[in-house]
Structure 1
Amino acid sequence: FDAAIIAAFGDPGLFAARELFDVPVIGLAEAAMLTACMAGRRFAIVTFAQALGPWYEECVRMHGLMERCAGIRMLDGSFKQISDVQHEKEELLVELALRAVEENEADVLI
């Protein structure tokens, strides 16, 4: 293999993996945020769970991108299954995204 991907948003273990391996290690959150920074001035993150908010904020801070982050919007409430949350909560997720654009002036949404 030529590279590795930390396939969990929030990039758990990213910096440790980079110390351990001699190949590039990419984190999904880092890649998303850096791409968002190329696409606009400020990005916002929309997520399906309140519990993820602090972790994502720590991740944004870890990557030095707090000044570019317009905010993190989280669903308030439960859902049946994580595999169906995008369909079950679609309207609420879209509402959160629109609020991030309107209220936080996000140019790009993750």
Structure 2
Amino acid sequence: MKLKILTALAFAVVSLSGLARHNQPQGMMPVQPAAQHTLGQYSILPAVQKAQSAKKRTVKGYGITVVISGDWVTVDGKPAALDENNATAKSYSQGLYNIVVYKSGKVALLKQGEGFVGYLK
């Protein structure tokens, strides 16, 4: 009885492993189990991809400092939330401040209760 169950399990494992190999999409190469490949006496390691860092831009004015790095904006070291993103500008908010970063490079400061304060440089 045990021999029949073991035989059935072995057959199922062999069948599934063969099935997995045959159901691989066309044009795909089987993945090597090791991360390191060897070519004669030399070893070929996979390339390491590093993330690109966005350029940081700092603008100051009206007692605050705004750092712009890609889609990330901080006001006096505190992260600002993206409120609106359209073709001409991105609008961020942090506390009482609203920051508008225009595609042309200008950065406008608006304060709650006062409205437009001015442009940051």
Establish whether TM, by shorter chain, passes 0.5. no
Q: Which has the higher helix share?
A: 1
When normalised by structure 1's length, the TM-score is 0.23
Q: Which has the higher contact order (CA 8 A, sep 6+)?
A: 1
Q: Which has the higher strand share?
A: 2
